[in-house]
Amino acid sequence: MSSEDHYDEDAMMAEALALSSGATPSAPAAAGTTGSASTAEQDAADYAAAEKALADADDAAPQIHMHNVGESADWEEEMVPVPVNNEFLEQLIEMGVTDVRGRKALVHGGSVEGALTWLSEHQDDADIDQPYMVRKKDTLPKPVLTEEEKLARVEAMKDKIKQRREERAKQERAEEIRREKDRRERGQRMDETLEERQRQQRKRDLDKAKREKEEEAKERARLRAEIARDKEMRRKNNGVLPSVLGVEGYNPPIIQYNQPGGDAPAAGAPAPSSSTATPKPAVAAAPAASAAVAAAVSPEAKIEQAIGMISRYRTAGDGGQALKLLLTFVKNIVEHPDDPKYRSINPESAAFKSKLASLVGPPQFFKYAGFERDNFDGKLKYAGAADHPVLLFAHRKLVEADALYQQQNPV
């Protein structure tokens, strides 16, 4: 990659950084003004630091070396005793302190009192008589720099500061580019993860739609089988359905005629009027055994049978919704026995029509649970006791059926 290509890539990355941070077109000018002020302040601080570094270098203390007594003073450079305040040293010597100890004491104590204190604490040290030595050139007066030399040293310091500043800017630029690349990679990974999640969700939706279609097909097949079975039973029983299942469901709401007696009208012929023929109810034509079986079936069995029919509705969760609504009706009566509003159900309500009216089973449930239709307002009303065994049985069976339905048909 050429330097121009690399520069273009860096420029594009810098532009992307500016866009990601929400920079506006007017931002560069403002940033330039602010950057100029910041650079001037930084330059002033760098110049001050350079001058201070020069002053510190000029005033640097000489390096002290310790000379062991009895050893040859084979120094690479000429060494002399460490310089101290001569007036303080003379006072110590007048007090009987040797030159070596006086110099060491003044180095550590700084004054006559401090030196005496240090001597009292260290006079028994093994190296108390080992002198401190420094290079002779460090004791000579420092030459005074000319203005040109000072400016040259300042310029040299400026060059070093500039070099460090450029290196720092280069590192920061590289770090920004690295962070931008990392951000883009993270964004790409997030996009891929989101796309994968959406793909999985679409797959789940398709699977769910497929299951629902299969359940609908099974439900239609079941209903067709029930209709065919009813037709076959009617054919075998001369047009009569000898079943006690549908109190108001399966049994048609019209009078059935006795086929063997010849009272039934021919196919396509109009029904006989009351002046020419007397119809006979299907109940009279039903076998005596069926009537005996119907009388022997208990309300509890009828309720359980109705709940079983409702539970078979699995398309779009219709059975589960019907069970929950029936459970709400019965539960309200059981838990609020003295509140009359819970004992009346309006079949014309939206909830009743959408969840119960189109299903086979709810009419049988209401009848054997003790509900009766009021001829005045058309509502289903319960007049029995809230703790009646049949109602409590219906409540318990609805709770069990609802839990089983939810377990077998998870959402």
Give the tens place of pLDDT for each residue, 212-249.
Answer: 999 999 998 999 898 888 888 888 887 766 654 444 44
Structure tokens at 105: 């004491």
Q: How far apart are CA 75 and CA 136, in angstroms?
A: 11
Q: What is the mean pLDDT of residues 145-169?
A: 83
Task: Indicate the burial class of 176 (C-beta count within 10 angstroms; 0-12, 13-18, 19 or more).
Answer: middle
Q: How far apart are CA 372 and CA 345, in angstroms?
A: 10
Q: Quote the pLDDT of residue 159.
A: 84
Q: Quote the pLDDT of residue 387.
A: 92
Confidence check: pLDDT of 402 > 70: yes
Q: What is the mean pLDDT of residues 256-269?
A: 40
- In sign, the C-alpha dihedral spanning 210, 215, 218, 223 is negative
Q: How far apart are CA 66 and CA 74, in angstroms?
A: 12
Confidence check: pLDDT of 253 > 50: no
The model's pLDDT over 359-399, given as tens digits with 9 standing for 90+, comes to 989 999 999 999 999 988 889 999 999 999 999 999 999 99
CA Rg value for the chain: 54
Q: How far apart are CA 83 and CA 93, in angstroms?
A: 15
Instruction: Kindly report the pTM of this predicted structure.
Output: 0.33
Report phi then psi at 132, rounded to 5: -90, 130
Q: How far apart are CA 40 and CA 169, in angstroms?
A: 16
Q: Quote the pLDDT of residue 16.
A: 57
Q: How far is CA 217 from the centre of its chain?
A: 39
Mean pLDDT value across the chain = 76
Q: What is the mean pLDDT of residues 153-162?
A: 82
The model's pLDDT over 273-285, given as tens digits with 9 standing for 90+, comes to 443 444 444 444 4
Q: Quote the pLDDT of residue 205.
A: 92
Q: Quote the pLDDT of residue 408.
A: 87
Structure tokens at 317: 């969760």
Task: Indicate the burial class of 380 (C-beta count within 10 angstroms; 0-12, 13-18, 19 or more).
Answer: buried
Q: Which of 11-20, 37-46, 125-134, 139-148 has the highest mean pLDDT?
A: 125-134
Q: What is the mean pLDDT of residues 128-156?
A: 76
Q: What is the mean pLDDT of residues 185-193?
A: 91
